[in-house]
Structure 1
Amino acid sequence: MGIQKDRVKFNVGGKIFETTATTLAHAGRNSYFGAIFDGDWNLSDSCKEEHFIDRNPDCFAVLLDLLRTGYLHVPPTLSEKLLFREAAFYGLLDHVRTATRGQFDGDRLRFSRSVAGQAPGDGTAIRGAPDGGCAVAHGSVVHVYDWNFEEHPTINFDYQRINDVGWADPGTLAVAACERLNRSGASAGGLALFSAGSGILRHRFQVAHEDQFKTYTAGALSFSSDYKIFSSCKGRSNEYGIGVWDLITGKQIDFYYEPIGWSLGEADRVQWLNATNCLMVATLFPRKDDCYISVLDFRDKNNMVWFWSDTGAPASDDRRVRDAVAAEEGMSICVVNEYEDLGFMDLRSSAGTVRWCSRSRLVMKGKLPEEPCYPKLTWHEGKLFSSMNDSISVFSGPDWVLTSRLRRSYGGSICDFSIGGDRLFALHSEENVFDVWETPTAAII
């Protein structure tokens, strides 16, 4: 890119600023400033003398300094919300996000803030958005927050209890619940896509069998890189299993029917494995006394390529699986029990045996929450995250050594947590609140 060193003058709300095209080029071609230059970052004829912008000059000064130095300094007299609004106008929100938070590092996370919820009762799920916002499901309502924690219009899903939510893309939420017919005979509930910004229904997915539409309960969700959505489905006849739809057309493109003796239609977790183009499906305790974990390959119709179950094993709480997650490279599955003991299964072995690593000694001392929650797992950037009561443990390295622990005393047990963008979100059960953890930016030398 050939960048001219011409000086550029702006009149912003009556205040004069002078800079260079080189500095403005840091904003990027899709920014406000990219629009007033040609392909070589030369000013158009109408802007060569002075470019007037009828916006806030104090915010412009902060954003211009950000383009000059790469660092963001917000004076205490300036409202952050106002600054973020102005950054959105200039197309600089990504620059602001980068300057305010460091690259995600599970061992360097620091508590950022707690956000009070807006609905009564226990939360169902929290899901981090790709841009650092989040969605929180309570009962039949989903509360959506942008990365600045401004709340968007709520999603009220036909007064049906929501089982799972997921981000199809930064602007679209998938919501899964029980489907029913309303008084007019129209379908309500099920699985649908909503606008994250407006809460407006965009599309409702249907389950068809033998050319007839069926009512069903949608459960755990997952998405593939080729724009497919997967959901566990529980119906009233023989459509139990995993449904697959095309996110672009909305059409059902596959359905994996539940084998006899398994519980795919009531799965607690489904996870798409990009490395193997397969889907992990896990039905866990206490939904079922026996745990079922399988890997499905949809390229070969109805092909279960790997499975494991603790059916027939001695019933003991210390080995009942509470959650499961597949490694990002897709070669192993990690499970966790009630005491935060981790178990690992190698997908390259057909035996499906579990290698347990006791973590019970790592449980924090002191008073336990009044309502302990089952542990949850997440795998992110080669690290394993596991919630236990009111804390989240981070395990690293080939031996999965405990390298850090995140804990807040406010809110009680963690009922769910999620990583989205460059943040970790933890939803508490005893208080309607979720915590936000971020990696701090590097110190300015």
Structure 2
Amino acid sequence: MAVVNSSNTPEPHNNNRIKLNVGGKLFETTVSTIQSGGPDSLLYALSNRPTHDPNPIFIDRDPDIFSVLLSLLRSNRLPSTASRFSKQELADEALYYGIESQLKSAMSPPPFQGIDASVVSTVRPAADALPSAFTAAADDGSLWIAHGGQISVYDWNLSHSSTVRTHLEDITSIRRVWPDVAAVGSDSSAGIHFYDVSGARHVATTHWTDSSDPRIYRAQVIAISDSPGSILASFVCRHKENCILMIDKSTLQISSELGRQSGSSSKTTVPGKLTWIQSTGLILGSSVTSGAFGYSGYIRMWDPRSGGVVWETNEPGSGRSSRFGDSFADVDVDAEELCLFKICSKSGDLAMADLRNLGEDPWVYMKDSSHNVRNFSEGGNWYGGNTIIHCYKNQVFVGSEGGLEVWSRVEERERGLNEGLYKRNYVDKVEDSERGLITRIEGGGNRLFVSRQDVEGIEVWESSSFSGVVSVL
């Protein structure tokens, strides 16, 4: 409603109230409530529209969903009636009214704590549902899944947005390098390929070539990472020559080549993991191989400015110290805390090193005082095979066979590295561990995503402590 003041200038509404007719149902609320959606929202614009018409403003939308969104604007929480609607229905209406950010905040999971996490859903692509690779956005937990030669895109509420068919038969590595662009690699096709998932189009392909070396031919991508200005990719040729290429994001042209080597031994195989460490500007790569005599591999750091190696360790080899014969099964880095972690292949012990103080044997082995260890055989040997490690939100997640555990910090970092700095707990239940071999773990937003061998879809893990937010799952 609007009234006219003495100067004949229409005022938007009397007594800070506004009436809305949504789909034939009358709502009355305050101007401040509907303006809480922000100046770019539709409701804010309607509240500022001067009018002499005493009739309520008509909006031809679903009144029941509007009631939920109005309650959200009043309290910053979703009411219990929200459970009547799907997440997609709520998201579509919130987008129409321009209050998607408020809905996103209310529906987002709480801060992720591994010790309180549980499986809340499984994201399954509609076709070719066995995922071959996936990547999660760190900011909002959206997910892109590669299955076969396709990429299925899921937004912040894990609703399916689109599926893009690529020219590849299969995708074995994927990285989100821009909000709408994926960098992908394939075991059956040479080069690193860039796809715009919003426009469903192939953007470019970059190859590793060297006209002076005939062995550099049809190089395939094994691992992909990125920095603000560059894309990092490890390439390997059929004759095992390999390197790391830095590709300029603005041109998608190769800017430099690092660490060319021939993969004739475990010390020179192609890096299977790459991480750019922002605070130091260094690139960390690792490679693990397993055979009849156990695990072996290397961890290496390059300075892209000089192209040289600034630190490395090989196992078996340098850095083995008293842990000779118990080489790592996997490696990951907490880039924010500048901590390097490895999981030992025989004992299952977690070791930690300070990236600011690396030497010949920098490892501190975490002491696990708990007695609820599940992964022991009758002979007392830990099942160290098929083990992966992932650092996320100052926690270290370990997937061993089908089991998932978390190492959480229990002491302040200011005291330095010590064996009691982290404590181990199991994230999963026994029935969770029986779903299949864990093949990949990745964090995004306040979620953890887990894939398993020969199992359809990606598991979504969230903290079970919702801090008063009502779930609409």
TM-score by structure 1 length?
Answer: 0.82
Are the aligned partners of 1:123 and 1:139 in contact in 2 as well (CA < 8 Å)?
Answer: yes
Cα contact 2:295–2:329 (8 A) shared by 1: no
Displacement of 1:320: 3.0
Shift of residue 114 of structure 1? 2.7
* Contact 2:337/2:394 (<8 A) preserved: no
Q: What amino acid maps onto 2:277 in structure 1?
A: L
Deviation at 1:391, TM superposition (A): 2.6
Give the residue type in structure 1 aligned to 2:218.
Answer: T
Q: Which residue of 2 aligns with 1:44?
A: 49
User: 1:308 aligned to 296, 313, 322, which one?
Assistant: 313
Q: Shift of the alpha carbon at 1:418? A: 1.2
Partner of 2:224: 221
Structure 2 equivalent of residue 431 of structure 1: 455
The one-letter code matched in structure 1 to 2:29 is T
Q: CA deviation at 1:228?
A: 1.8
Distance, in Å, in 2 between the alignment partners of 1:125 and 1:196 is 15
- Paired position in structure 1 for 2:416: none
Amino acid at match of 2:142: G
Q: Which moved more, 1:103-112 or 1:261-270?
A: 261-270
Where 1:27 maps in the other structure, the secondary structure is coil
Preserved CA contact (<8 Å) 2:115 2:406: yes
DSSP 3-state at the match of 2:160: coil
* Whole-angstrom CA distance in 1 between matches of 2:112 and 2:53: 41
The answer to whether 1:13 aligns with 2:23 is: yes
Match of 2:122 among 101, 106, 114: 114
**Is 1:207 matched up with 2:208?**
yes
The amino acid of 2:221's aligned partner reads A
- Which amino acid in the other structure matches residue 468 of structure 2? A
Q: Distance in 2 between matches of 1:362 and 1:259?
A: 44
Summarize the alignment of residues 348-387 of structure 1 with structure 2, pairs less than 5 Å apart.
Answer: 348-357=357-366, 363-364=373-374, 374-387=386-399
**1:322 is aligned to 2:329:** yes
Could you say what secondary structure the match of 1:266 adopts?
Answer: coil
Residue 291 of structure 1: SS of its match in structure 2? strand
Equivalence for 1:258: 260
Give 1:69 deviation, angstroms.
0.4
Residue of structure 2 aligned with 1:274, choices 271, 278, 285: 278
Larger radius of gyration: 2
> Which position in structure 2 is the counterpart of 1:183?
none
Q: Superposed, which structure 2 residues align to 1:292-307 within 5 Å?
A: 292-299=298-305, 301-307=306-312
Structure 1 stretch 416-425 or stretch 201-210: which is displaced more?
201-210
Answer yes or no: is 1:390 the counterpart of 2:415. Answer: no
Q: Percent identity?
A: 23
1:125 aligns with 2:147: no
Q: What is the CA distance between 1:241 and its match in structure 2?
A: 0.8
Q: How many Å separate the matches in 1 of 2:28 and 2:131? A: 51
How many residues get paired? 426
CA distance in 2, matches of 1:197, 1:74: 34
Q: TM-score, normalised by structure 2?
A: 0.77
The answer on whether the counterparts of 1:176 and 1:219 sit within 8 Å (CA) in structure 2 is yes
Looking at structure 2, the residues matched to 385 and 24 of structure 1 have their Cα atoms a distance apart, in angstroms, of 43
Equivalent residue in structure 1 for 2:232, among 211, 230, 233: 230
Root-mean-square deviation (CA, aligned residues, Å) is 3.7
In the TM superposition, residue 147 of structure 1 has moved relative to its aligned partner by 3.3
Match of 1:147 in 2: 156
Q: Which runs of 5+ in 2 are unaligned?
A: 1-12, 412-420
Look up the equivalent residue of 2:258 and give its one-letter code. Y
Aligned to 2:444: 420
Q: Deviations over 1:110-166 (max 9, x none)?
A: 331233454558643332234222223344443332333333443444334323112
Contact 1:220 1:270 in 2 (8 A): yes
Corresponding residue SS for 1:154: strand
Q: Describe the shift of the 1:410–1:30 C-alpha distance in structure 2 as closer, same or farther (beyond 3 A).
A: farther
Query: How has the CA–CA distance of structure 1 residues 151 and 80 changed in structure 2, closer, same or farther, with 3 Å as cutoff?
Result: closer
Distance in 1 (alpha carbons) for counterparts of 2:270 and 2:164:
24
8 Å contact from structure 1 (residues 125, 138) kept in 2: yes
Distance in structure 2 (CA, Å) of the matches to 1:245 and 1:274: 17
Structure 1 distance, partners of 2:212, 2:274, is 26
Out of 29, 34, 37, which is 1:27 matched to? 37
Unaligned runs of 5+ in 1: 181-188
